[in-house]
Structure 1
Amino acid sequence: MAKDERGSAELNLTALAGRPPRISEEHAARIAREVFAREGTPRLLYGERDQNFHITAPGGQDILLKIVDGQEDPQVVDLQLSALQHVARIDPSLPVPRLIKTRNGEHLAQVEGPQGELYAVYALSFLPGEMLEGTPAAPPLLTEIGRVVARLGLALRGFFHGAAGRRIAWDPRQAASLRPHTPLIADRQMRGIVEKALDRFIALEPQLQRLRSQVIHHDCHPGNLLVDHARGKVTGLLDFGDMIHGPLLFDLAIPMAETQGVDLSPLEAATRVLAGYSSVTPLEDADYALLYDTIQARHAVTLAIHGWRTRHDPEAAAKLDAYCAINGPILAELTEIGPDKALAAFRAARLDAVETEALVKRRRAVMGRNLELSYAKPVHAVKGDGVFLWEPDGTRLLDVYNNVPSVGHAHPEVVEAVARQASQICSNTRYLHETVVAYAERITRTMPKGLDKCLFVNSGSEANDAAWRIAKAVTGNSGAIIIANAYHGISDAIAALSPYSGPLAIPSPPHVEALEPPDIYRGRFREDHPDAATAYAADADRVIAALAQRGHRPAALMIDSAHTAHGILDVPKGWLAQVAEKVRAAGGIIIADEVQPGFGRMGAAFWGFAAQGIVPDIVTMGKPMANGHPVGLAVTREDILASFTGRVDFFSTFGGNPVSAAAALATLTVIERDELQRKARETGDFFRAGIKALAQRHQMIGDVRGSGLMTGVDIVADQATRAPSAPEAKRITNRLRELGVLVGIDGPYGNVLKVRPPLPFNREHAELALAAMDRAMEI
């Protein structure tokens, strides 16, 4: 112990020594300008030992200027700076501040105070968001806090620094040093609770040596967390000033102890944080054994320090008043609950956290390991509504990927139509039913004149399979023309027309030939070519000749007018019309696969082929037509259908059944009534403009393509060379998933972000997605 000038007993611990420097705002502005070359208006923020200034820059590149306590050990400052650099290298997407260099290229400088005293100074990037302090968090945000804290622990796992061995008052292992000062807690009842908690923890201290230990942040409380409540995301992890080498469990115990939940008890809020943490870093039995007491010790340490400061440092004590007003009642409530009930709740949270992992294992056991799951952390969706999905822990995800629920997840009109019809009858199409006929009448009214005959099946793959059978039957030819890397379905015949599966797929058979994709961004003929349409269309001559050499004339060209599997291309105007003319002249017909571009998604027209200036001979569609209910359809002309059905007795038992027809009819009604095609055009234009603006800041955005709510974002290693970067696209996609936004990846190089949300996706949703993209693309 040491004595202060008042003769009071003072702890010989870092956190209770020293005072923040006394630099004025005017002086802070001068430091920012002269040392860090940053102009701006300073605003003083709270700091326990350091002095912190938010420097608001006119251009928006704000910084946090930190004037270090003059009594701080230089090695402790180096600990903080080194840790920040380490975390930025190991997990660049973690929302931690980045160091700002001085004019001399250093991370640390020295400045004079008003009396000539010397202070160390450094600057950090100023992170966006709202301080969590004083505001309860919704359950998904609590879970996200746990996940982010666990990620920080993983990022620091391989880091060490000699100064991390220091002693600070907030370390629960200093409970024995704080225990003599509990008489300074004014409230007698609370004093007894604090003493009991400290005594229990002191007795358990030998067991702490069994825990995983490393350098830890040790201060992830609400005052050091920036969040976006609307999106349920952590936007900033602040203040590395209390870093120590200690049990990893301490990093979890702090947010579990101090983060409040909306309409949740302290224990319920704590278990939400634990569930998120455990999903990244599962707890060991030794952790569970000490978790309750570590949480209690955190509260008790805070209240003991507050008692000490009330006597010896009232100004500093006032800063803790708000915390203690919360911590005291929580400590009392958890004490009343007791360790046994708390441990049971914590272990239940562990069960929730491993539920998804267990489901993945069960799935692999019965469905195989190679069946694809999107994202590094699979999505476990249990509920959908509009453009959002929810996971079991309440995490909300903005769906910017799924075109199948075209009018939005669980649209009430579609749900009601399905339920109503299923409660009446579901039969095959050899019986009459009003709904399937009504749908056929409605859908053909959206088609060009002459396309007015419907063949119902169960999926887009079946529709394409039927179209291909029709093409061969009516032309008498056997050759298929597709676009390189195309995808059209999973049946044996259509898989042969779908080289999208990649190099491991079976090579294309002799009757299939692929056209060069009309890619004006990365292909042979680019946007500066005087007539790229004709240049690319010339490849049709090669394809037709190649088929002829192998004894095949073209039966059909099958094409997805959005070129989804090719990275959602912006094709040169007139290209498809020229190709179609060549194919027809060679005896083939045109099959427009509208599974992805159809139903107003492209904005400019109800059907994707219409924007290409052609009228196909057969139009196919599938899952989006009934908002995800299994149904498919091929629409063609009277002469073509009659020629086919005159030779083939074609029948699909469930194709066009009344329940699927009801779902499709309700979906079409919503699309037309709510003007979703127009809205897709307007929102899509806004969204792509926003992504193009991001390209000015993020050099990995090479090209932004598409129409309506079908957008491709070409991710590159270099904007000048346009070299595709699949690893960066994958990183961005997984980071977006962490930020609560789902997008896909497509294209022959696996580097194009595929953005095709449900049609009700509006400007508000686009702004959420743009903000997430901005963050996900930060290096």
Structure 2
Amino acid sequence: MALEVFHKDETLQMRRKLIGQSCRLFFSHDPVKIMRARGQYLYDENGMQYLDCISNVQHVGHCHPSITQAAAAQMDLLYSNTRFLHDNIVLYANRLAATLPKKLCVFYFVNSGSEANDLALRLARQYTRHQDVIVLDYAYHGHLTSLIDISPYKFRKLEGQKEWVHVAPLPDTYHGIYREDHLDPGQAYADTVKSLIEEAHKKGRKISSFFAESLPSVGGQIIFPTGYCKRVAESVHEAGGVYVADEIQTGFGRVGSHFWAFQLQGEDFCPDIVTMGKPMGNGHPIACVATTEEIADAFTANGVEYFNTFGGNPVSCAIGLALLDVIEKEDLRGNAVRVGGHLKQLLLQLQIKHPLVGDVGVGLFIGMEIVKDRVSRKPATEEAAHLVRRLKEERIVISTDGPWDSVIKFKPPMCFSIEDAERVSTCIDQILGGCFSYPSPSTTSSLRGVPPSFISLTTSSKYSCSTFCPFTSTTTSPSHSPALSPSLPIITYRQGELHGSVFHRLGKAFLKL
């Protein structure tokens, strides 16, 4: 039986009446009502197609048939089976173990990234018998009360910092206290963590854990300086604590070269606890904590059973197994490298051509910082917001992040293609070129030594973007994304023929062009 479908205005009116207003929508001034999705494309109530650049939860593409078929097949047999013996949970745990360092060999399945991080906090405290936690500035680790307490991004707007929470500087070599010209920013930032530990000890406090995303996302798509994580882990271990790597947004091959983002720090670094979530079920709620036998044994020793009603149920594990199969069979990590590398080059060209484009680095979450100018590096928050609104008019869905909401972040489904990357960069180029006035080339090109007029984008001419700007009176219609009937099939998946892959996150590493 089909559910009732309302007109967009009626849906919005009902939502405002029934749903808490703190539950916000993208583009709140004019929300998009999405009715269905395939691959990297979203379709609204009128059948209009939008290119999705932000749904990292739908890791291998919206409604991937391998995922939906695996879910349906298992749901036809057995839904929930947490306390009875079943193959799926051990098969899935074994597959995950194969992607991780050998010491991370014990798994706890939960339903969300927040649950995973909350459990990681419990594991760390039970193992170390310590209370205090060190986190990075601007961090966000989840919506549970325990996680709001260790998320500066949230607690500064609420009750403030608890005495057992210690906030370390974000190791950002673009805006941070140690920049790209420092001889060893990794060591310098790691020393700030060591200093926090020493200060805590002077007050009689003991550190249970250092908690950090492997690529800080809310902090602005940061890539850690070389050696940072290893040195932090050494200091934390000396203090009797453990290192928790939050891979909820960055894991499962999104960095391309490695399955987990923490592996970018080298083989000589391994966290004590890893949390995973979001992309794990391609939109289905499943998450996990991986840890060592020693930490798991300490958790068991308290005599309290750990039980999760839906965690690790057969349906969730079947979906998780199917997602791992898709990543491998369709070479999505390889596509992440290829498509991400191409997009990186396009954005580097935009960086030279447009003074508003500041830091462009490397990674899988792509972050393009918009600045007033590259000398002062002052964040251009309003300009970034305008760019997001204009891209929406071109039916490209993207968003901002970072302490000043000045980082344009790309975190699309892994089926993002070369053509999609070119379309996005072309539209950004035309929007920036048509809507903002820049200083003369002699002023803006000195940082890189190449006049902007000498740089051109290597994209196909078939990708054009409306030149409408609120400061001009002319407009041309976009040539892409025709209206499509909601009843028509939009995309067909074939084995090995997904449309590319997701990218490197162009992070916070300084680039010399």
- TM (norm. structure 2) is 0.81
1:453 aligned to which of 84, 100, 106 = 106
Is the 8 Å Cα contact of residues 499 and 505 (structure 1) preserved in structure 2? no
Shift, 1:528, TM fit:
1.2
Using CA pairs below 8 Å that are at least 6 residues apart, which structure has the higher relative contact order? Answer: 2
Residue equivalent to 1:381: 34
SS at match of 1:702: strand
- Native 8 Å contact 1:513 1:546 kept in 2: no
Per the TM alignment, residue 552 of structure 1 is displaced from its structure 2 partner at its CA by: 2.3
Aligned partners of 2:349 and 2:155: how far apart in 1? Answer: 33
Q: Which residue does 1:703 correspond to in 2?
A: 359
Decide whether the 8 Å contact of 1:382 with 1:391 is kept in 2.
yes
Instruction: Give the distance between the partners of 1:504 and 1:693, measured in 2 at CA.
Output: 38
Shift in Å at residue 649 of structure 1?
1.0
5+ residue gaps, structure 2: 436-513
- The reply on whether 1:640 has 2:295 as its aligned counterpart is yes
1:440 counterpart SS class: helix
Matched, 1:528 2:181: yes
- Is the CA contact (8 Å cut-off) linking 1:451 and 1:617 kept in structure 2? yes
Tell me the distance in 1 between the aligned counterparts of 2:67 and 2:21: 34
Contact 1:521–1:703 (CA<8 Å) still a contact in 2?
Answer: yes
1:550, distance to aligned residue in structure 2 (A):
4.4
The amino acid of 1:428's aligned partner reads N
- Equivalent runs, 1:454-533 vs 2, <5 Å: 454-501=107-154, 503-533=156-186
State how far apart, in whole Å, the 2-side matches of 1:697 and 1:357 are: 41
Query: Residues 116-155 of structure 1: CA distance to partner in whole angstroms, max 9, x if unpaired?
Result: xxxxxxxxxxxxxxxxxxxxxxxxxxxxxxxxxxxxxxxx
CA distance in 1, matches of 2:131, 2:22: 33
Q: For structure 1, which runs of at least 5 residues remain unmatched after alignment?
A: 1-351
Superposed, 1:323-362 pairs within 5 Å as 355-362=7-14
Where does 1:242-641 land on structure 2 (aligned, <5 Å)? 355-375=7-27, 376-501=29-154, 503-613=156-266, 614-641=269-296
Residue 669, structure 1, aligned to residue 317, structure 2 = no
DSSP-derived class of the 2:353 partner:
coil
Separation (CA, whole Å) in 2 of partners of 1:394 and 1:550? 61
Aligned to 1:687: 343
- Residue 498 (structure 2) aligns with: none
> Is the 1:562–1:608 Cα contact (8 Å) retained in structure 2?
yes
Aligned partners of 2:47, 2:161: CA distance in 1, in Å?
45
Once the two structures are TM-superposed, the CA of residue 697 in structure 1 deviates from its matched residue by 2.5
Q: Who is 2:406 aligned against?
A: 751
**Aligned CA distance change for structure 1 residues 444 and 715 (closer, same or farther; 3 Å):** same
Secondary structure of the structure 1 residue equivalent to 2:211: strand
The answer to whether the Cα contact below 8 Å between 2:255 and 2:363 also exists between their aligned partners in 1 is yes
Q: 1:506 & 1:410 partners in 2: Cα distance? A: 40
> How big is each residue's C-alpha offset from its partner over 1:325-369, in whole Å with a ceiling of 9 and x where there is no partner?
xxxxxxxxxxxxxxxxxxxxxxxxxxx9x9323322211211122
Residue 53 of structure 1 corresponds to which residue in structure 2?
A: none
Of 439-448 and 367-376, the range deviating more from structure 2: 367-376
Query: Matches of 1:736 and 1:552 in 2, distance apart?
Result: 49
Contact 1:471–1:556 under 8 Å retained in 2: yes
Q: C-alpha displacement at 1:549, in angstroms?
A: 4.3
Q: How many pairs does the alignment contain?
A: 426
Normalising by the residue count of structure 1, what TM-score does the alignment of the two structures yield?
Answer: 0.54
Q: Deviations over 1:607-659 (max 9, x none)?
A: 01110232011111012111010011001111211210221311101001111
Aligned residue type for 1:372: R
Give aligned-pair identity as a percent: 38
Are 1:728 and 2:383 an aligned pair? yes
Q: 2: distance between equivalents of 1:426 and 1:601? A: 29
Partner of 1:714: 369
Deviates more, 1:670-679 or 1:361-370: 361-370
Provide the rounded CA distance (Å) in 2 between the counterparts of 1:688 and 1:357.
39
Q: Which amino acid aligns with 1:371?
A: C
AA in 2 matched with 1:640: I
| In 2, Cα distance between equivalents of 1:458 and 1:684 | 30
The question of whether the paired residues in 1 share the 8 Å contact of 2:155 and 2:161 is answered with no
Q: How far apart are the structure 2 equivalents of 1:421 and 1:657?
A: 10
State how far apart, in whole Å, the 2-side matches of 1:560 and 1:769 are: 27
C-alpha contact (below 8 Å) 1:568/1:705 kept by paired residues: no
Determine helix, strand or coil for the equivalent of 2:188.
helix
Aligned equivalents of 1:496, 1:545: Cα separation in 2:
21
Give the match's secondary structure for 1:723: coil
Q: Deviations over 1:592-614 (max 9, x none)?
A: 11111100101121101110232
CA distance in structure 2 between the partners assigned to 1:744 and 1:656 by the alignment:
32
